[in-house]
Structure 1
Amino acid sequence: MPCVADWLNCPLSIVQDIFAQNNSDPEWEKKVTEYFREKLKENNATNWVPSLNDVPLHYLKPSSLVKFRCMIQDMFDPEFYMNIYETIDTHTKSHVMHFGKYRDIAECGPHQEIDLNPSHVVTAERQTFYCVPVPGESAWVKEAYSSMSQARVCPSTSYTPSRQKRSYEEDEDMELHPSKQREQHLGSIADIHGSGEPKRLETEASATHQMINCSPPLDLNFPLPGEKGPACLVKMYGNWDNFKVNDVLEVCGILSVDPVLNILNNEDRENSSSPVESMDCMDTVEEQRVHSPPASLVPRIHVILAQKLQHINPLLPACLNEEESKSFVSSFMSELSPVRAELLGFLTHAFLGDSLAAEYLILHLISTVYARRDVLPLGKFTINLSGCPRNSAFTEHLYRIIQQLVPASYRLQMTIENMNCLQLKPHKDYTANRLVSGVLQLASNTSLVIDETLLEQGQLDTRGVHNVSALGHLITWQKVDYDFSYHQMEFPCNINVLITSEGRSLLPSDCQVHLQPQLIPPNMEEHMNSLLTAVLPSILNKFRIYLSLLRLLDYSISDEVTKAVEDDFVEMRKNDPESISADDLHRTLLIARFLSLSAGQTTLSRERWLRAKQLETLRKARLQQQKSVNGNEL
């Protein structure tokens, strides 16, 4: 029976054994998947698999088993490859069957040739996803996943790619100085040509070509500025229709970083001197760079197992439907009340003593789009926190606290310059045949904090107007329009938007809460830092579990409570027909929903409905008070 080192370090040898035993059986591919699925179930074996999120590429052995937690940024066209093929020994004329699945390159031994007779080749189709690390993933999430890993890795000595043991940061230097990258690629070509490597043939039926030249730096197409980590070409062999752009998934598969693929493409390009030969490749140079980037910068993963993630919180079980997970959930729910009380106190301090704002922030952080009725997204709860000090560090420090609580977040500084310069909406680049990312290409349940306190007087240009419009569209409909030049395509999303502003925001919101600080610390930074320092890591982890778990709970309203709410609303309209509208009913029901969930209750009670009405009364009274003080609406 293969040992751990075999299926982790040499998974292709396992595949080869299964293929050899079942080459006449078309079910051999399912047996491969089942073998690795069973292996990964044993004794938390997934923690033994190195992750590209944690481990630099040069520490990973080529063709070993790896995993990657990522978001699908783009989907390329399907490609054909040789699934099963034969080689012929040029001396003995003997035939040997091979599999091409999970490989970029089909290898032949010495004195062997691939039999290209169509009757001896079985082609198949695979789908390539361009995947990036989850945008805005919090540092505590990365650290927690990394600490759980039991993978044993060391710098690879059996493989010397063009990276020369570079880190991700050094990779970025290479991107900025492509001449360095070119020198390393040229060096690796010389090494491989002089090493007597066996002949190899690309398994893809339509080969793409990569030119070695001083072209512009490779753009890894991360949605958010300043992001680091690897991008990967993830090759799926089945069920790819279950995935879509912006899905977050964890893939487990075979790492391919073979530089020979690039070398073959380069040689093909150099040898294609005649116009007829060059017509074989219709791809533009830009498309070749995007779809066949250097494996040292964008490795390939040939997927054996893929799982769409419900969440990316490492403190929660990956799937809450399993029996083991249910015991975890019930255990945590039993201590929910003190956790909520501590979180409310923690956020009250963050809001400088304003407990009402803290209460609403908890409801905001557990909100999620749970359904769509026609075009209306149900469950979105965008808050406009007005009354924030202008041009102060308050919003920045508040965002730092939110970062410590949620798995993924981003702070968008809403300045005139940013609105006029940033690319918020993704758009299609037809020359390179790829989707160019934008800031609003975010994973589900990402917290987006829009800082409007930095907005000064100025002129928005055309892009600025479109960007502000895109933010409004996102908030109202939970959709982002991707620009495909000839048309706009709506992509539904589920992003928690918090707007901080001095007065009422320019952007729409579901609920405006005016901040009323009870204390003004002499040093805001010291106050916020001391708040984070004072909370115990174990308590902070409970806050993180609390906010992620409650988003995933089911919720319902009984017929009896529904009737009581309707009667109550009719009575409210009678008493105050001027100020009570259908929007008020919808918002109060939403607040009651999140209040119930925040207390661990999955159905609405009379008590929670009354508490929701009370919160809304306090919030509106505060807004009315501020309006009368300032003489205008906030």
Structure 2
Amino acid sequence: MPAHARPDWVSNPYRTVDQIFENNSELYVSDPERLCRDIAAAFQAKTFDDRSDYRYFIPSVQSWKCPRDIPRRTLVHFRCMIQNEQSSAYHQPFVQIRNSTSGEVRTVCGLFKHHVALEENQMCLANSDPRSLFLVQSFKCVPVPGETQWVQDLNTLHDSARVSTSDCTIIAHFFGSAADGIRINEMYDIFGIVYGGNPDKAPEAVEPLHMAVYFARKRAHSHPELSFNTAELNGILHELRYLRPTLLEFLRSFVQGDIVAAEYLLIHLLSSTYGSRDGLPIGNCSLNLINFADRPEFAARFKAFISEIIPKARFFSLGIATLNNARMCPKLDVESSDTEQELLPGILQLTGHTHLIIDETTMDAGTLNDAGVKNLLALQKLATEQKMDIDYFTQQVEFAMDTPVFVLSHGRSLIECRYVVPVKPDNSYTETVLSDDTVKVIRKYLTAAKFASYEIDEDMRKEIVDDFVEKRKTDRNMSGILLHNQLELARYVCISHGDKALTSAHWNHVQMLEKERIDRMKPSINP
């Protein structure tokens, strides 16, 4: 469907809302929550119709250079992160209007409307009944941090030219129970009507935009061409398992030809924190590659490469000045004069599956101030615990994260990572070049891997336990922590092959990788 051929429910959603209300107004007046659900269901059904792609006919907030140009009274969508919760308020879901000429009184729907338009000789009747008020919960929403360019391009299929509103912020208003389950740091597509922002004022005077949210869809991942259905994603991973050798060979070009370092890098790219046990993250594969030659161009090449194959990445050059001056964790702006205190964003406030790439080869000599020490501790907490604190002034609130951390450094990083791999150059390696089509399928492979099903059957569990017991007899350094690390690696080695069940071949491969890694670190560094 061409971009200009928008259906009436997109170009005039108020009319659709009014029609739904008028079809059963007596029921809805007594149960406004039911009306909210029915309106959301109606618009969802139209939006996600299998016969068309909504991105072709529902305008995206990200499609305008200036927020004041975003059309009002038209259904739009915004791909965003929930940055902060705002104050709740109450809304009049229904309004009684009297015709001053005829005396007729009728009830109209006020849901999802900033105001109710009145015609000549019409007036609103005051309603003093507090039971008629409806709760509205508001959230501050911002564009998804770290979203890479290829994702943005695919998400703007209907635009004739790529534009961006990277600094656009929207205060999203959810009516009734629609706000249940909405959480800070999560990623959503929100659909609704934009208002406010004083579109007639100069850009520098424009106030924040608001959106009356008709419905929201939580995004499991950021790849625009893939389903959110886990079974379908598992099928895609299985179909693309042939890519493993190709991707592994290509990764070697970023680790000076080192096949072992390339294996760990692949595992890191597949990793996702999918749970916790005893307060520790499960699935976290933070990685520190060390012993790089002094090649400043490597970090730039690596950044460009990562940006081409994964949907979301944040890059940070670690140095004394950046640590002392950055704000890693969000912080409440208690000095603000606004009634609604703002939550100042932090570098680490990211949606799930966003990779944090830290270049420590830029570290210089100097002294960390108090802010620098706090920032370093925040990075350490994220790398080891997959947690981030938000400073609400009166208390620190801890949030669980899913942010794979990768650190590139000359020596062992200041940030303790689960896997430290000294790079061992292989001068015989010849660099591999990937075609554009191969890059496209690699993107799907890496995204699908985040949702892979995985299991260890009883026979395999027994084999692992027996193997551990035998090794403990001859190597007292074989601890439970090392076994846990190997089990994490085994999961991703299995997944990287497109398999669901761990096999002896996968387990033996992990043993080989870990033996080589630990041998490289002897005698000066503990594993």
Asked whether the two chains share a fold, i.e. TM above 0.5, the reply is yes
Normalised by the length of structure 1, the TM-score is 0.75
Q: Does structure 2 retain, via aligned residues, the 8 Å contact 1:406–1:548? A: yes
Deviation at 1:296, TM superposition (A): 4.8
Q: 1:493 aligns with which of 379, 401, 409?
A: 401
1:355-406 deviation digits (Å, cap 9, x = unpaired) = 1111111101111112111211111010110012347221222122111111
Q: Kindly provide the amino acid, as one letter, of the partner of residue 52 in structure 1.
A: V
Which residue in 2 is equivalent to 1:233? Answer: 171
Q: 1:356 aligns with which of 252, 260, 274?
A: 260
Q: 1:402 aligns with which of 292, 306, 320?
A: 306
Q: Show structure 1 runs of 4+ deviating over 6 A.
A: 631-634
1:407-443 deviation digits (Å, cap 9, x = unpaired) = 1111111110010000111112244423221111111
Confirm or deny that 1:573 pairs with 2:472.
Answer: yes
Which residue in 1 is equivalent to 2:185? Answer: 246
Q: Which has the larger Rg?
A: 1
Which residue in 2 is equivalent to 1:588? Answer: 486
Q: 2:223 aligns with which of 313, 321, 325?
A: 313
Which residue in 1 is equivalent to 2:456? Answer: 557
Q: Kindly provide the amino acid, as one letter, of the partner of residue 599 in structure 1.
A: H
Q: 1:367 aligns with which of 259, 266, 271?
A: 271
Deviation at 1:559, TM superposition (A): 1.7
Deviation at 1:66, TM superposition (A): 0.9
User: How far apart, CA to CA, are the structure 2 residues paired with 1:152 and 1:356?
Assistant: 45
* Cα distance change of structure 1 residues 368 and 329 upon mapping to structure 2, 3 Å threshold: closer
User: How far apart, CA to CA, are the structure 1 residues paired with 2:409 and 2:471?
Assistant: 31
Which residue in 1 is equivalent to 2:214? Answer: 304
1:60-114 deviation digits (Å, cap 9, x = unpaired) = 4311111111100011011111110112233433323222211122322233222
User: How far apart, CA to CA, are the structure 2 residues paired with 1:452 and 1:428?
Assistant: 29
1:550-596 deviation digits (Å, cap 9, x = unpaired) = 1101212112211110110011111222x322111111111111100
Deviation at 1:487, TM superposition (A): 2.0
* Cα distance change of structure 1 residues 119 and 463 upon mapping to structure 2, 3 Å threshold: closer
User: How far apart, CA to CA, are the structure 1 residues paired with 2:13 and 2:441?
Assistant: 38
Q: Kindly provide the amino acid, as one letter, of the partner of residue 540 in structure 1.
A: V
Deviation at 1:460, TM superposition (A): 0.4
Which residue in 2 is equivalent to 1:53? Answer: 62
User: How far apart, CA to CA, are the structure 2 residues paired with 1:369 and 1:589?
Assistant: 14
Which residue in 2 is equivalent to 1:330? Answer: 235
Deviation at 1:168, TM superposition (A): 5.9
Q: Kindly provide the amino acid, as one letter, of the partner of residue 330 in structure 1.
A: G
Deviation at 1:30, TM superposition (A): 3.3
Q: 2:52 aligns with which of 44, 58, 64?
A: 44
Deviation at 1:261, TM superposition (A): 12
Q: Kindly provide the amino acid, as one letter, of the partner of residue 316 in structure 1.
A: L
Identity %: 27
Q: Does structure 2 retain, via aligned residues, the 8 Å contact 1:11–1:64? A: yes
Deviation at 1:350, TM superposition (A): 2.2
3-state DSSP of counterpart to 2:52? helix
3-state DSSP of counterpart to 2:371? helix
Q: Kindly provide the amino acid, as one letter, of the partner of residue 474 in structure 1.
A: L
Normalised by the length of structure 2, the TM-score is 0.90
Q: Does structure 2 retain, via aligned residues, the 8 Å contact 1:259–1:294? A: no
Confirm or deny that 1:32 pairs with 2:39.
Answer: yes
User: How far apart, CA to CA, are the structure 2 residues paired with 1:380 and 1:142?
Assistant: 27
1:261-311 deviation digits (Å, cap 9, x = unpaired) = 99xxxxxxxxxxxxxxxxxxxxxxxxxxxxxx9995532222222111110
1:204-242 deviation digits (Å, cap 9, x = unpaired) = xxxxxxxxxxxxxxxxxxxxxxxx242111111233121
Which residue in 2 is equivalent to 1:146? Answer: 156
Deviation at 1:517, TM superposition (A): 2.2
Q: 1:449 aligns with which of 330, 336, 357?
A: 357
Number of residue pairs matched? 508
User: How far apart, CA to CA, are the structure 2 residues paired with 1:601 and 1:372?
Assistant: 23
Q: Which runs of 5+ in 1 are unaligned?
A: 154-166, 170-227, 263-292, 522-526
Q: Kindly provide the amino acid, as one letter, of the partner of residue 299 in structure 1.
A: L
Q: Does structure 1 retain, via aligned residues, the 8 Å contact 2:386–2:403? A: yes
User: How far apart, CA to CA, are the structure 2 residues paired with 1:350 and 1:476?
Assistant: 25
Q: CA RMSD in A?
A: 2.7
User: How far apart, CA to CA, are the structure 1 residues paired with 2:345 and 2:506?
Assistant: 42
3-state DSSP of counterpart to 2:375? helix
* Cα distance change of structure 1 residues 488 and 139 upon mapping to structure 2, 3 Å threshold: same
Confirm or deny that 1:14 pairs with 2:13.
Answer: no
Deviation at 1:260, TM superposition (A): 9.3
Q: 2:90 aligns with which of 80, 95, 105?
A: 80
* Cα distance change of structure 1 residues 318 and 49 upon mapping to structure 2, 3 Å threshold: farther
